[in-house]
Amino acid sequence: MITGRVVRLGDDVDTDVILPGAYLNVTDPQELGRHLLEGYDPEVAARVSAGDVLVAGRNMGAGSSREHAVLAMQGRGVQAVIAESFARIFLRNCLNLGLPAIEHPDAARALADGEQIHIDLAAGTLAGEHDHWALPAQPPFLTELLADGGLVPWVRRRLQTSDR
Amino acid sequence: MSAPRTMTAKVLAAHGIEDVTPGAYGLARVDRVMINDVSGGVAMREFARMGAERVFDPSAIACIADHFWPAKDVRSAEHVARLRTFAREQSIEDYFETGSTRAGGIEHTVLAEEGLVLPGALVVGGDSHTCTAGALGALGIGFGSTDLAAAMALGEVWLRVPETIAVRFAGTPSAYATGKDLILATLGQLGVDGAAYAALEFLGPAVDALDVDGRLALCNMAVEAGAKSGMVAADETTLHWLRPRVADPAALAGFAPDPGAAYEREVVIDVDGLAPLVAVPPSPGDVHPIGAVAGGVKVDQVYVGNCANGTLSDLRQLAQVIGGRRVAPGVRLIVVPATQAIERQALEEGIIATLVDAGAMISPPTCGACFGGHMGVLAAGETAVATTNRNFRGRMGHRDSRVYLANAYVAGAAALTGELVDPAEVLR
C-alpha cells in the first residue's frame, strides 16, 4: 500500500529535464536524487519530497534511455509514477527497477497537485481525495517481474536455476 | 507456411519469439549488445548484483567510450577505466576508445562501420538511439542499463511485441533535403508520441535512393516519435557498404518485408519537392520548412556532429556550403566527425582544411555537447543550430538555451550568415 502526495507534471516530460545530461557520470541514487527535475522547473524540483507520487500527462519519460532518471526518483524517495502514457524505455526502466509506473489516463488527468492518494497494487486500486479507479490488469510476465522485485532478482533467480 | 511478415516480425520470430502478435510478451535472443561509458556504469554494477560472473558471449558484446570521452573530469575517466577493465576481464575484443589502437567514435556509427550490425540481426544497446542500426536492416532497440546487464548475463531481453507501422514516403525530395529531412517530416506528421511502443519500417523510392549515411540519419530519430525501432530494408546499397567491413562477405544477404506483409498501420508522407526542415525548440516534433522559420533567429553556435548526422556525407555537405568562405562574426562552428575513420577520410578530402580555414573548431569524435555533456555546452540565452536529434529544454546546456535541429546544409548556411536561412540562398 502506497500513500503519498501528488506532484503534478505536464506532457512530454523528457528524461533530459528529469535528470540533465551533465549528471550522467553520477551513479549514486542519492546524489542523482538531488538533481531530480532540475531541468524541468526549479520550483517543482525543489518541492518533491520523499514519499511523493509524480503524476504526469502524455509521453512521460520521453527521449534518452538513461536509467539515471529512475534512479534519481528512487534516490529522492518518489514512491510511484502515474501518467496518461509513458515513453517505452522509461516505462521499462521503472518496471525493471521496481518503481511502480501506472498508465491510467483518467486518473492522471483527474489527480490534482498536492492531493493525497492511496495505491494498492495487490488489490488493483488507486484512490485520490475525490475519486477512485481500478488499475489495469498486468500481463503475467510483468506481474512475475514485479513479484520478484524487478529485473535484478529475476535474472539472479534464472542464473541460479539454470546450468549456466 | 506462415502469413507474410514485416521485417520486425521476421527478426523477432528468428530470435525466439514464438508469438509475434502485437502485445505478446516474450524473451528474445540477441545478436549484439552495446554499452557505453554512461549506460555501462550502471549496467556493470547491476550485472554484478545479478550474481553474473561471465557475459554470455564475449564476441557479442561491444563496449564504447563516447559520451564523456575524452574524459572531461576524474569521475568520467573512472567510468571509462571501469569499462576498459570490464572488457579486458570479460575477454570482450570489441572495446572502442577514440585515440587508441581500436579507434572508435560515437557508438551507433562505430557499430555500423565495424560491421557489427548485420541485416536481420537483433541489436540491443544502452542508448535510445540504438534504433540507428535499422539503417542496415537490423532491428535495433534501445534499453536502460539493467536490461543491458540482463542481456549480457543471459543473452536475452524481455520484450513486448510492437505494432508495426509502415512509413511510406511518396515523391522525390529537393536537392538539399536529406535523410534528416525525411525523418523530420515523419516526426512532424506523427508527433513525438505518435509511434509510441511501435516499430517503424521506412519504405518508398526516396528511402531506396538514400545512401547508408542518409539511412543512418533516417532511422536514428525513430525514437523521437516514441518508436521502439526504425528499419530500412537491406538492399544492394547496404550490401555494397557492408562487404568490405565483415569477415565473411559471401554470407551477407539482403533483408526485406515479405511481399504483402500486413502492417498495423500505414502512414504516407508526401516528400515530393521537400525543402529542408527545421525542428523548433523544445520539441523534435515541432517541424517547419526552413522558409517558414528563416529570418529573425540569431544563431550563436552551429554544431555538426552526433550519431544522427556526423557522417562523412554530413561533413561533405557542410564543406560544400562553406566553400572557401568564413563563418559569420559572432558565430562559432563546432564540427564533430562521428568516428576516427570519418575524420581520416575528411582530412583526405580536404574537408577539415576547408572547415578550419572557415574558423571551425574540429572536435574529436564524441557525443560531446549533443547531450549537454561537454565540448560545446550552451550558456543561458544562447541559440544553436545542430544536426543532432534532440532539442529538449536544456538539452545542450543551460535550461534557457535553445536548439534548432536541421540537416548539415542548413547548419552550414547558419554558420555563414549567423541566422536560420535556406541553404539554397547561400550555395553558389
Suggest the residue from B395, B400, B402 to mutate for an interface test with chain A (most A CBs closer than 10 A).
Answer: B395
Q: What is the pLDDT of residues A19-78, one digit of tens each?
A: 999 999 999 999 999 999 999 999 999 999 999 999 999 999 999 999 999 999 999 999
Of B68, B73, B153, the CB nearest to A155: B153
The 3-state secondary structure of B403-424 reads EEECCHHHHHHHHHHCECCCHH
Please give the residue range of the domain that contains residue A84.
2-137
- Selection from B19, B267, B261, B20 nearest residue B163 by Cα: B20
Beta-carbon contacts of B240 under 8 Å, excluding residues fewer than 6 positions away, are none
What is this structure's pTM?
0.98
Task: Name chain A contacts of B39, Cβ cutoff 8 Å.
Answer: 65-67
**Is residue A121 assigned to a domain?**
yes
| Rounded Cα distance, A59 and B226, in Å | 8
**Least CB–CB distance from A64: residue in B41, B128, B377:** B128
Query: According to CATH, what is the number of the domain B8-270?
Result: 3.30.499.10
pLDDT digits (tens, 9 = 90+) for B100-109: 988 899 999 9
Q: Which residues of A touch B46 (CB under 8 A)?
A: 151-152
Positions of chain B with pLDDT lower than 70, given as ranges: 1, 428
Instruction: Judge whether A125 lies within some domain.
Output: yes
- Give ∠ CA B242-B243-B247 in degrees, rounded to 5: 105
Q: Give the one of B56, B142, B160 whose C-beta lies nearest to A65's C-beta.
A: B142
Query: Does A12 contact B283 at a Cβ distance shorter than 8 Å?
Result: yes
In B173-323, which ranges are E strands? 199-203, 229-232, 265-270, 277-279, 287-289, 301-304
The answer, yes or no, to whether residue A105 has pLDDT greater than 70, is: yes
Cβ of B42 within 8 Å of Cβ of A67? The answer is: yes
Domain count for chain A, please give it: 1
A163 within a domain of the structure (yes/no): no
Q: Do B146 and A152 touch (CB under 8 A)?
A: yes
Helix (H, G, I), strand (E, B) or coil at A29: helix
The reply to whether A148 falls in a domain is no
Cβ atoms < 10 Å from Cβ of B344? 14
Supply the CATH number for residue A122's domain. Answer: 3.20.19.10
Measured between alpha carbons, how far is residue B187 from residues B53, B194, B265, B278 in Å?
42, 8, 16, 11
This model of the complex carries an ipTM of 0.97
CB pair distance less than 8 Å for A21 and B192: no
Element (H, E) at B139: strand B139-142
Write out the DSSP string of A89-127. HHHHHHHHHT--EEE-HHHHHHPPTT-EEEEETTTTEEE
B402-405 and B383-386: which strand pairing? parallel
* pLDDT value of position A161: 87
Task: State the fold for domain B278-426.
Answer: Aconitase; domain 3 (3.30.499)
| Residue A164 within a domain | no
| pLDDT tens by residue, B5-23 | 999 999 999 999 999 999 9
- Tell whether A63 is covered by a domain: yes
Predicted local confidence at residue B402, as pLDDT: 98
A residues 6..45 contacting B (CB < 8 A): 12, 14, 16-17, 20-22, 24-27, 39-40
Instruction: Write phi, then psi, for B365 (nearest 5 degrees).
Output: -55, 125
- Classify each residue of B72-100 as buried b or exposed e, where b means 16 or more C-beta atoms within 10 Å of its C-beta: beeebbebbeebbebbeebebebbbbbee
